[in-house]
A and B are shown apart, each in its own frame.
Chain A
Amino acid sequence: MKYLKKYPKLFQWLFLLIVFFSLCFAIDVPETYKFIRGQAEFVKDPNQSVYFFLGKEVRYYAFDVFWRLPPLLGWLPIWINDSLFFLMNEWMPMEFWNEDTQEFKTRPLLLEISRNLTSFMTFLIELIREILLGGLETIVAFTSWDFIDAYPWLELPGLPWTIVAAGAAILSYKLSGKGLALFAGLTMIYISIFGQWKPSMQTLSFILVAAPLSFIFGLGLGIAAYKSKRVEKALYPILLVMQTMPQYAVLVPALVLFGVGDHAAVIITMVVAVPPMILLTILGLRAIPPEVIEAGRMSGCTNWQLMFKVLIPTARRDILIGVNQVIMVCFSMAVISAFIGAKGLGFNLLLALNQLNIGLALEAGLCISLIAILLDKMSLAWANQQQDYFGNLSFFQRNKNVIFFAASFVIGIILAYVGTFIFKGSFNYLFEIPHNKGISTADFWNKGVDWIFDTFFVYIKAFNTWLIQDVLQPMRALYLRMPAVATLVLAVGAGYLIGGVRSALVVAALTLFIALSPWWDRALVTLYMATFGVVISCLIGFTVGTLCFQNKKSAAFMLGVCDIFQTFPSFVYLIPVMMLFGITDTSVLIAVIVYATIPATRYTIEGLRSVPVGLHEAATMSGVNKFQRLTKIEFPLAFPHMMLGLNQTIVFALFMVIIGAFIGTEDLGQYILKALSDKNGAGIGLTLGICVAFIGLIFDNLIRTWVGKRKKHLGIA
């Protein structure tokens, strides 16, 4: 009784676990039940139950309600799909003027909007692409094909790679200094001589359109939400879901709305990149001290000046993190959207992975990572730039960057021209190095992979078998063995114990949605993979973070490493693991672990860092040793922040698990991938995405509520 009073929470949790396990043991697996594989749902089987809702037929295998809930939401994907098609093809037909045929044509409104948006995006991408690589689409867009036939010299020749490289270096120098300039120059040269120029520039043009557009939209919507509570309330739930929605899942509806190609990729990238930008804009604007706003007002700012000269610059730090996120998402999407036909490095990467050509994949992956790091650093430098009013500089000094660029432009063109004489009959290496004519290290890497396989095959195989047979399979079986009711009780109970009735209701709603969808089993598999990844990531991350924290230099170094790793597009992580473990669940899980360890490490270091100095001193004066200080002072205080890291770790892990479907897993991701090639896949893809998002949100809700309470309790809110 005494203990019961002392630790009431502990006993409540124990009670919850007892209920959960007794439910698990009380409810037997039905005899007819088997983990449903493949397309079984679409096979007509007399054993299936059927119901109709909204005119949609849903077939499913019925089991004891305590074991598995019937898929009462099974109509949703079909309904979403039909609605989308209706909106696109039948809703609000209107007369539109058609330029090409010079007549009015009847078209559904949404289709017309989509077409216009599409052609606008295509124009933007082509414009930048042709400046970098040459072409004639842009000229044609302003004139006509006949015109270009008459004046063939108008075709944009594209910039020689030397000029782009020099331009990147000079811009980096202006923004930051020698270090970045050197990095920019080397990156460009690397890309060029390794024959990745064309796909790199294709990717770059895609990003140069997607990133600024996402930034503008995100900032605009963020400002709107800051100014109006109503806008914020409307946006918030969408933002929340989008934060945890796997990027794969949004591809499918985009396919229906915008078709296949770079333009669809840009639009879908914006859908993914805008939400974090909005959130960070709101966060930054909210954090501005009121006196700064008043100071702006008293200086006589108009509303416009107040926003752009006072508020946004003051909130710069958070907005910058937003820009950073936008760029990262753009690169991630540059690869993923290769699934819907975006050209460039991502496409090559996917192709190489598909052919199991690890060497090629590695080269493409390295290129995309280098460009990502470069743009990331440049955008940071750009935002930190300062003007100096006190240089009485000469014309040359003031304009030296422009002059240097002009000079390198001329030199580049001369070089390219000279190149036409040197490389007669073959490719002009001073203009552009074609894709397969550069130096390639692919063979070297492929041989390396082969060597690793030959040499360590036994060990890798043994490890693989052990992991799959003794760890993963049993774990998976355990997860699948959970009756739906038991899982629900556990989730709702945890919600209630952590956040009271409100949390319990939110968690119940989210869990029910997944349980009532046709993919409960798949969700459990996703969950098992994510759990495995998260547990190991957290172990590694917390340990590494704590160790690095012991020394200021190593902590800073580790944060730098995290920064760089975070810049890599998520797909890139699949390359090395496929190199070592081939196409197995192990590969996916290792990619998950590597990817999800980043936030775990970062938040651990940041959390430990945020412990006030005064407390350190107080602890030292009470005579604690290093270990005591860590366990008694630092961990308890840093723990809430570390839990936020856990939250991020879960989201990262879920993303990677879903992407892992590309290698071949049996979770929700597999179906999302399948939906991509299904003409009726839009609804399925979206619903699956929402399911994954909801798994993330359940944990998000629980962790955030707990952290909020804990921080209040510790007085560090």
Chain B
Amino acid sequence: MSETVIKCESVYKIFGENAKKMLEESNGNVDAKTFQDKGCIVGVNNASFEVAKGEMLVVMGLSGSGKSTLLRCISRLTDATGGKIFIEGQDLLELNNKELIELRRNKMGMVFQSFALLPHKTVVENIAFPLQIKGTNTEDSISRAMEMVKLVGLDGRENYFPRELSGGQQQRVGIARSLAVEPDIWFLDEPFSALDPLIRKEMQDEFLRLQEKLQKTIMFITHDFDEALKLADRIAIMKDGIIEQLDTPANIVLNPATEYVRKFTEEVPREKVLIIEDVMDASSKDNLGDLKVSKDEIIENVAEKILTQEKLVGVVDSNNNIVGSIKPSKIIDTVFGGRKNGS
């Protein structure tokens, strides 16, 4: 993997008066129940992970699972109770207020569930806001903001007030604002949860398009497992402040680490998540038929073609080298079969 941008080492966030003291006494063995009895609420419990440059980590969990709290620890909107957080090698918790502000002004952008636009500013003023806070002059900040307006497709609405926009449009403004300073790290806290399903899908596609272009390092929070599967490079599933599993979408679907994760994966249509590489047989490369498919193809897209074949289908990589094969019956197994199917 390429260089690490965000790194968490045993991060804890515990709410309550004696949180710090209790955490020290517990030696890292935090049990939510005993803490709660003493009036403390555990938000994040021993989170350790890394996010690489250009990677999109989606943190998935139901409400109250601590996913938003985790994000706020990493953006230091709240201070973590214990553990270490590094942003590009800098110890986040050691930064003083001034350095933190510098970091946020230049490196971080964040999108919020309820959009959090400033009601007294127009679209373009909202987008220019982080720039003006930095001290960019009005002319430059407005022209940069206008670029962002175009990027998120709100041309012609730049002089509207947030209250005059629909939810989807407001979130486009939120996205544009978070990108205005060209941050390296992009935090999104349930950005599409408040939108209705059709708009949500549209925004997800739009978001993927943007990410294709911008290649930011992203932490994306959602409570929607389908959304996580659709967007993520890797998914972290949280429950009661603990990261239950952190892996690629395919691995989570194929090898759920805990019962809790398995429940989520049950209903997932595998053919939409898995790619050929996940189900191919890498050992047998002989007796192939005429059809060749790319290993990165999603099963759904090629299933029909494969199923019409009688022979083994060859799997090729991007250089057209054969890396494995797949039996047509394997496709049926994967889609309709039980849980024992593995890679």
Contact = CB atoms under 8 A, between A and B. Distances in A.
Contacts of A454: none
Given A292-B117, A300-B104, A302-B101, 13 more contacts: A289-B114, A292-B116, A294-B72, A294-B110, A295-B177, A298-B75, A298-B110, A299-B130, A300-B181, A301-B133, A313-B118, A386-B122, A389-B125
Interface string A292-320: 10110111111001000110011010000
A6 to B, nearest CB: 41
Chain A binding site: helix, strand, loop or mixed by DSSP?
A: helix
Given A314-B119, A314-B120, A297 B138 contact: no
Contacts of A297: 77, 104
B110 A388 contact: no
Interface of chain B: mostly helix, strand, loop or mixed: mixed
Interface in A234-291: 289, 291
B200 interface: no
Nearest to A310: B118
Interface in B228-247: none
Contacts of A292: 116-118
B220 interface: no
A387 B159 CA distance: 10
Interface of B: 72, 75, 77, 101-102, 104-106, 108-110, 112-122, 124-125, 129-130, 133-134, 138, 142, 158-159, 174, 177-178, 181, 187
B101 A294 contact: no
Contacts of A291: 112-116
Nearest to A300: B105
Contacts of B124: 389
B129 A390 contact: no
**Most chain-B CB neighbours within 10 Å: which of A291, A386, A389?**
A389
Contacts of A389: 124-125, 138, 142
B108 A298 contact: yes
Nearest to B75: A298
Interface string A311-345: 00110100000000000000000000000000000
**Interface hub of B130, B134, B158 (most chain A Cβ within 10 A):** B130
Contacts of B101: 300-302
B120 A295 contact: no
26 contacts: A289-B116, A291-B112, A291-B116, A292-B117, A294-B110, A295-B116, A295-B174, A295-B177, A297-B104, A298-B77, A298-B108, A298-B178, A298-B187, A299-B104, A299-B129, A300-B102, A302-B101, A305-B133, A309-B133, A313-B118, A314-B119, A316-B119, A387-B125, A389-B124, A389-B142, A390-B158
Contacts of A298: 75, 77, 104, 108-110, 178, 187
Contacts of B115: 291
B159 A294 contact: no
A316 B118 CA distance: 11
A291 B121 CA distance: 16
B135 to A, nearest CB: 10
Contacts of B113: 291
Contact of A316 (B106, B116, B120): B120
> Which 7 residue pairs spanning A and B have beta carbons closest together?
A300-B105, A295-B116, A299-B130, A291-B116, A300-B104, A298-B110, A291-B112
Interface string A684-715: 00000000000000000000000000000000
Interface residues of A, number: 22
B189 to A, nearest CB: 8
B118 A314 contact: yes
Nearest to A293: B116
A294 B112 contact: yes
A301 B125 CA distance: 15
Contacts of B116: 289, 291-292, 294-295
A86 B40 CA distance: 53
Contacts of B77: 294, 297-298
A6 B158 CA distance: 61
A301 B100 CA distance: 10
A293 to B, nearest CB: 8
A552 to B, nearest CB: 20
Contacts of A388: 159
B52 to A, nearest CB: 22
Contacts of B120: 313-314, 316
A302 B116 CA distance: 18
Contacts of A289: 114, 116
Contacts of B159: 388, 390
Contacts of B109: 298
Contacts of B177: 295, 299
B197 to A, nearest CB: 22
A307 to B, nearest CB: 13
A310 B106 CA distance: 19
A181 to B, nearest CB: 24
A318 to B, nearest CB: 12
Interface in A667-699: none
A279 to B, nearest CB: 21
A142 B174 CA distance: 53
Contact of A300 (B117, B118, B121, B134): B134
Nearest to B158: A390
A440 B326 CA distance: 103
Contacts of A302: 101
A305 B101 CA distance: 11
B104 A295 contact: no
Contacts of A295: 110, 112, 116-118, 174, 177
B55 to A, nearest CB: 20
Nearest to A309: B133
A713 B226 CA distance: 39
A62 B175 CA distance: 76
Contacts of B105: 299-300
Contacts of B134: 300
A299 B112 contact: no
B133 A299 contact: yes
Nearest to A390: B159
A289 B174 CA distance: 15
Contacts of A313: 118-121
A313 B72 CA distance: 24
B62 to A, nearest CB: 20
B72 to A, nearest CB: 8
Interface in A140-162: none
Interface string A156-172: 00000000000000000
A210 B184 CA distance: 50
Contacts of B178: 298
A294 B74 CA distance: 13
A697 B134 CA distance: 48
A371 to B, nearest CB: 28
Nearest to B145: A389
B328 to A, nearest CB: 51
A301 to B, nearest CB: 5
Contacts of B114: 289, 291
A286 to B, nearest CB: 16
Contacts of A387: 125
